[in-house]
Amino acid sequence: MSKKKLGLNTICIHVGEVKDEQFKGAVSPMYLSSSYEFLDVDVKRYPRYFNTPNQEFLAKKIAALENTESALIFGSGMAAISTMFLAFLQQGDHLVVQNTLYGGTVNFIKEEFPKYGIEYTFTNGYSVEDFEKAIKPNTKLIHIETPSNPLMTITDIKAIARLGKSKGILTSIDNTFASPVNQKPIDLGIDMVMHSATKYFGGHSDILAGAVASSEELIERIFNVGKNLGGNLSDMTVWMLERSLKTLGLRVKAQTKNAMKMAKWLNKHPKVSKVYYPGLKSHPEYKLAKSQMSGFGAMLSFELTEDLDAYKFQKALRLIKSSMSLAGVESTVISPHLTSHALLTQEERDAIGISDQLIRFSVGIEDVKDLKRDITNAIKMIE
Ligand SMILES: *Cc1c(COP(=O)(O)O)cnc(C)c1O
């Protein structure tokens, strides 16, 4: 059966299962060996070579979800992104990277690239022209993130893919926020897709993992660097990730539906001055988001009115937890100005639109009426 013809949920459940030949159990057995037969075998298996049975098979599920030939699973999103970058960038090369980006990726570039003699340019904005202006003769990779953290800006994936192809530059995307349930960048022409699998792939706030999906040829190049850097995921967590991925479609669709309802409700709330959600018609890139996403995702941000204290608001919530991470089945909120963007100056934050009133909201699968009530009660308590 061709994997491409299978539906999303069928892929989530059935692609990349390790068959239990011995006992015919319903789920993949967990292979914890870190030592495998070496003599006269076709494949020399070792966890750091990304080729234990659980790693090899789960990679097939992720490749099927992203419509790629191949994939690799890593110990974290940062292991995935750092290995991918170092596979295609060496001394004297140049990376063009979007200005609104996950903080850890920004830190990796700023703190590590100078040590390797790799050059980089952060774009001034996220339009195709901004990317084009940043390209230099030694540019080897363009990296984007859409929707991006925390204001849910939308980058034109097709246009960036076209730009890369026209200049012979590889393109990569951080698809963590949308997940393959809502966005398939490979179908839009991007070369490589990476994920913090800690987020929607894991979905239960109990796994740290990452993944990259691409063609066999590009994955081979990432593998060659990855085996040296040693960022593979342990097989026990690989097994947990397989279990989580079975419900990826169900979870993310339910979360996306809830996010749309919450965004519309917050948009009309007298104590909310602004909502950032690509599914709202008021979002500046609503049409673009609609053209490249099958759903608008479950991440949104909103600004409380000036009279409310964002810190007190988070403390007053009972159901919705304040949390650094995101994308679990439980709803969480965070103040970007106190966390991801705390190291910037007030002026720097103002320049990129991160106000003290901003709350990033990762919408879970709870009943919407309870989420609304929690927010209403919290606002009443601090008014
Ligand atoms: C969390 C996150 C990462 C980093 O992933 P880790 O699993 O924490 O290493 C990268 N990109 C985005 C968009 C993220 O949200």
Helices (H), 149-296: 157-167, 179-182, 216-229, 235-245, 248-267, 286-292
Residue from 74, 76, 78 to probe ligand 1 pocket by mutation (most atoms less than 8 Å from CB): 78
Using CB atoms within 10 Å of the CB of residue 239, give its burial: 0 to 12 exposed, 13 to 18 middle, 19+ buried. buried
Cβ of 208 below 6 Å from ligand 1: yes
User: Of 3, 36, 46, 48, which one is the catalytic site residue?
Assistant: 48
Rounded CA-CA distance 58/203 in Å is 16
Contacts of 103 (CB under 8 A, 6+ apart): 149, 340, 341
C-alpha pair distances (Å), 300 with each of 92, 97, 235, 296 = 38, 22, 33, 10
Cα(283) to ligand 1 centroid in Å equals: 24
Phi/psi at 29 (5° precision): -65, 155
Cβ of 149 below 6 Å from ligand 1: yes
Contacts of 41 (CB under 8 A, 6+ apart): none
Decide if 48 is catalytic: yes
DSSP 3-state of 119: strand
Domains in the chain, please, with CATH? 3-245 (3.40.640.10), 249-382 (3.90.1150.10)
Cβ of 82 below 6 Å from ligand 1: no
Note whether 63 and 70 are within 8 A (CB).
yes
Q: Can you read off the two tokens belonging to residue 382? A: 């601090």
User: Of 102, 126, 200, 277, which one is the catalytic site residue?
Assistant: 102
Note whether 206 and 28 are within 8 A (CB).
no
Cβ of 106 below 6 Å from ligand 1: no
Taking 3-state DSSP, the helix, strand and coil percentages for the chain, each rounded to the nearest 5, stand at 40, 15, 45
Cα(1) to ligand 1 centroid in Å equals: 34
Rounded CA-CA distance 135/141 in Å is 9
Cβ of 125 below 6 Å from ligand 1: no
Rounded CA-CA distance 86/332 in Å is 33
Note whether 97 and 74 are within 8 A (CB).
no
Count of other CB atoms within 10 angstroms of residue 294: 14
Count of other CB atoms within 10 angstroms of residue 168: 8
Beta bridge partners of 97: 122, 143
CA-nearest residue, atom 1 of ligand 1: 196
Decide if 3 is catalytic: no
Decide if 174 is catalytic: yes
Per-residue pLDDT of the chain (383 residues; tens, 9 = 90+): 454 589 999 999 999 999 999 999 999 999 999 999 999 999 999 999 999 999 999 999 999 999 999 999 999 999 999 999 999 999 999 999 999 888 899 999 999 999 999 999 999 999 999 999 999 999 999 999 999 989 999 999 999 999 999 999 999 999 999 999 999 999 999 999 999 999 999 999 999 999 999 999 999 999 999 999 999 999 999 999 999 999 999 999 999 999 999 999 999 999 999 999 999 999 999 999 999 999 999 999 999 999 999 999 999 999 999 998 899 999 999 999 888 788 778 888 888 889 999 999 999 999 999 999 999 999 999 99
CA-nearest residue, atom 6 of ligand 1: 77
If you count them, how many residues does the chain have? 383
Beta bridge partners of 195: 211
Q: Can you read off the two tokens belonging to residue 164? A: 């890369």
